[in-house]
Structure 1
Amino acid sequence: MRATWLRRAAASVEAATPAHRDRALDGLRALALLAVPAGHWLLGGFTRDSAGGLHNASPLSAFPSLAPLSWVLQMLAVFFLVGGHASALSYRRAAGRGEPARSWVAGRLVRLGRPVLGVTSVWAGLLVVMWWAGVPDATLHTAATLVIQPLWFVGVYGAVTTLTPWCVRASRKAGVWAAAPLLGTVAVVDLLRYGPWSAGMPSWLSLLNLLPGWLFAYQLGVSWGEGRVSRHAARVLLAGGAVLFAVLLWEFGYPISMVGVPGETRTNSHPPSLLVLALASFQSGAAVLLRDRLASLLRRPAWWAPVVAVNLSAMTILCWHQTAMLTAAIPGAVLGVVPGLTSAPDTVAWIAMRVLWMPLFAVLLVVTARSARRLDAPWTGTGRGMRVTVALLAAGFAIFALRLA
């Protein structure tokens, strides 16, 4: 009975899909999106103090051999690549119908901003309720940190989106080479902050990598959308990225993990180092080369339907997946040290138990997504008072989170 319902649902999605839909791009976006919660749920954990408060921890501290797993789970570059491709097509269509660039950019930013306001305003209220209920301050701080953690991505993605008109012009002039200056910029900043003279460099120098580091994959995506990335160029990106990645690891001592490890002073991702761009180059080349095969695979309704579901909930997954984990962990902390949930992530048993907890996190995310969908959709019929309230709550959460920085 259930199998029949699933087949009918998949057939319905298939029938509603336009013939011109680029299924490969949607598949790549879904893959990159699902890697975010998978990475945070598997490589992030908690410790519980004597007062029942939760603190952030990571199994990477105890098991550095797990670091290569982050090479697979760090797929934000693919998200930026696909975003650049989609933005190039959307911008070209908007220009064709006479829509000003400023209007196009504003529309994209509004779509990105609604989910952020939604999740931060809800959590502003939740933090007050939990404080009133006696939840330890450590747990409140940890929850706020985890909720805000994925939202930096939305800010950076919004920034690169505003640069789309310039990215399009650069692509039309230089093709795939338009991304080369971004790679060079990150290389120079890394040289300054990690070279023999790094001791005299200011601490804020690394922030100069934030925009060019993530714009690199987005610019490649824009060039791809403009038809300026050939299969030969994709092979060069793939091979060049792999070689650069290996050289940076073995010859220049870059951290093996693509995500931050508690206690480590150097990280690859916050802000991005040259190693992140090497991985982005490899992933971008692979995405272009695998596009046709992926599109063929997604012609099957059983594969295509879940991809559509993930894409329809893209921002919800990004903004709310940490909430799903916290929904299980905060009550778990009341019960005590729960294996794989609130126990320290420093044993093989923790890894096995955390894998068993992940299906529950996924179910909680689905439930949360269904409830949060109204916050992510256009706020039609919402009064001015409600919008002001949401904005004030979001601002309150932002102030609380910034105090933790």
Structure 2
Amino acid sequence: MTDLQAPPTRVPAAHPTPARDTGVDLVRAACVSGVVLLHAIMVGVTVTDAGPVFTNASEGAWWIAPVSWLLQVMPLFFVIGGFAGVVAYRRQRERGGTATGFVSARIHRLLRPAVVAVGIAGAGLLILLLVGLPGELVAIAGFRYAQPLWFLGVFLLCQALLPALSALHDRAPRRTLALLAASAVIVDIVRAASGIDGIGFVNLAFVWLTLQQLGFFFADGAVDALSRQTRAAMAAAATATLVVAFATGVYSPDLIANINPPTGALLLVGVVHLSLLSLFRERIARFSTRPRVAAVSAFVNRRTMTIYLWHMPVLLAMAGSSSILALAHAIVLPTPGSGLWWLGRPLWLVTALALTAAVAIALSRFEEKAAPARTTGIRRSTAAAGVGISAVALLLVVGATPLTATAAVAMMLVSLRLVSPDQTAPRAASASATSSAWRSVRTMSGTTPWSPERAAPRAR
């Protein structure tokens, strides 16, 4: 492990630090858009005599497997996350920055928008209960909202470990990658042998860390240095292995099923994605410089976490509005998967993208604000990452409710406080933390000037 407590020193870069890659930025923007589209197409809303019914339209549907092959972009997103993260870390080290400084900045970038999103979601669930909506429907809404938040916790874990894994990569790149990948496969084997699916959740670490590590090779130029024939063979071999694994029942052909919990199939998907990205990198880069394409890419990349955090509330609001409209005007909503349902999907998907973009414009200031320049020591940054990950885990395990959302926001505020420039100890009283959480919610209505950034002001 690298010495994270070492004072800032200017060190020569072990690998070339490339300039910002607009092609990679475009692919990242496409990944974020793909996640929104995938989740949007999975929303099913019908109305019965008993009231509105919200379902996952993909459950048991034949079409989800081929759709998942097109829109399951998370392996590629983590590869790109590893690429962008290690490039940023190396550049920071060249300027005399530290590992703890990198981790602190990542915590701010990820948790600041999450504090607002989770706080407002908790307030919204409380309002739904107060106006008399059935508790069962509110619980479903909270469950659906919390599901995509796994990404926040896992990405925070990956970024917090990035400096240490980067140091291991510099010393033994192939061995480090092999150990991570082998660990992921071993978890799959133990899960299958024991029949205990819960064991698979250990791969929330190993699978995504392996994919992030692949991004380090991409940043080194090691992948692009391979011949085109070799990269094409890598993609073909990984695809063939996937097909065999699907045909023999080792993994499900539904890539959505392979994400909860994650399986080794995603590693093969990541190899395919990385190989194709490298093969078409120059074409993607040229396309990314077109003015309109560049504008869309820049819009999404400035607001990546805001879009991710808010697309599910937007989809839930769309589903609720559809059911209210259907009930008010006696409209029969098409059955998910039917011809009429598919006929309406293009309008539904475009609306989801447009509304998510509108919300992102309104709330992106929490993500775009620069992180503090001053940082804390390894203990505080490690504790901050742990508290932030625990906050997300609470929502995933228990579900999003007004109470769990309040607790999660309080924990995130503690995490941010730990890596803020102000070295005073965070407030210990839970009542004070809860009060701070709800002030972040009231900020959006303009009732108070407080905001999460005030705990971490921009360095002058």
TM range (shorter): 0.7 to 0.9
Aligned-residue CA RMSD in angstroms? Answer: 2.8
Alignment of 1:178-217 (within 5 A): 178-194=176-192, 197-199=193-195, 202-217=196-211
Q: Tell me how far apart the structure 2 counterparts of residues 245 and 225 of structure 1 sit (CA, whole Å).
A: 26
Give the share of equivalent positions with the same residue, in percent: 27
Name the structure 2 match of 1:138: 136
Q: Is residue 190–residue 206 contact of structure 1 (8 Å, CA) maintained in 2?
A: yes
Q: Tell me how far apart the structure 2 counterparts of residues 289 and 341 of structure 1 sit (CA, whole Å).
A: 48
Name the structure 2 match of 1:321: 311
Q: Tell me how far apart the structure 1 counterparts of residues 81 and 331 of structure 2 sit (CA, whole Å).
A: 35
Letter in 1 for 2:150: W
Matched, 1:255 2:245: no
Aligned residue pairs total 361
Post-superposition CA distance 1:328-354 (Å, at most 9, x none):
221222233699996541422212223
Match of 2:149 among 141, 148, 151: 151
Post-superposition CA distance 1:238-272 (Å, at most 9, x none):
2332122111111234211111xxxxxxx311121
Matched, 1:231 2:226: yes
Alignment of 1:88-99 (within 5 A): 88-99=86-97
Higher deviation after alignment, 282-291 or 249-258: 249-258
Letter in 2 for 1:206: G
Higher deviation after alignment, 112-121 or 136-145: 136-145
Name the structure 2 match of 1:57: 56
Q: Is residue 249–residue 255 contact of structure 1 (8 Å, CA) maintained in 2?
A: yes
Q: Is residue 176–residue 220 contact of structure 1 (8 Å, CA) maintained in 2?
A: no
Matched, 1:349 2:347: no
Q: Tell me how far apart the structure 2 counterparts of residues 207 and 291 of structure 1 sit (CA, whole Å).
A: 33
Name the structure 1 match of 2:127: 129
Post-superposition CA distance 1:313-336 (Å, at most 9, x none):
211111111122222221222233
SS of alignment partner, residue 351 of structure 1: helix
Q: Tell me how far apart the structure 2 counterparts of residues 151 and 100 of structure 1 sit (CA, whole Å).
A: 28
TM-score (norm 1): 0.81
Query: Are the structure 2 counterparts of residues 243 and 49 from structure 1 closer, same or farther at C-alpha, using a change threshold of 3 Å?
Result: same
SS of alignment partner, residue 45 of structure 1: strand
SS of alignment partner, residue 45 of structure 2: strand
Give the gaps of 5 or more residues in structure 1: 1-18, 260-266, 381-394
Match of 1:161 among 155, 159, 162: 159
Q: Tell me how far apart the structure 2 counterparts of residues 355 and 77 of structure 1 sit (CA, whole Å).
A: 25
Matched, 1:85 2:80: no
Query: Are the structure 2 counterparts of residues 122 and 301 from structure 1 closer, same or farther at C-alpha, using a change threshold of 3 Å?
Result: same
TM-score (norm 2): 0.72
Q: Tell me how far apart the structure 1 counterparts of residues 187 and 331 of structure 2 sit (CA, whole Å).
A: 39
Letter in 1 for 2:92: A
Name the structure 2 match of 1:241: 238
Name the structure 2 match of 1:173: 171
Shift of 1:53: 4.3
Give the gaps of 5 or more residues in structure 2: 1-17, 372-389, 401-460
Post-superposition CA distance 1:262-311 (Å, at most 9, x none):
xxxxx311121111111111111111221111001122212211111111
Shift of 1:95: 1.4
Q: Tell me how far apart the structure 2 counterparts of residues 356 and 79 of structure 1 sit (CA, whole Å).
A: 26
Q: Is residue 121–residue 397 contact of structure 1 (8 Å, CA) maintained in 2?
A: no
Alignment of 1:275-354 (within 5 A): 275-336=265-326, 343-354=334-345
SS of alignment partner, residue 136 of structure 2: helix
Shift of 1:45: 2.0
Q: Tell me how far apart the structure 1 counterparts of residues 345 and 63 of structure 2 sit (CA, whole Å).
A: 17
Shift of 1:75: 0.4
- Quick check: which one's helix share is greater? 1
Post-superposition CA distance 1:63-96 (Å, at most 9, x none):
3144111011010111111111111111111112
Name the structure 2 match of 1:119: 117
Q: Tell me how far apart the structure 2 counterparts of residues 341 and 150 of structure 1 sit (CA, whole Å).
A: 29
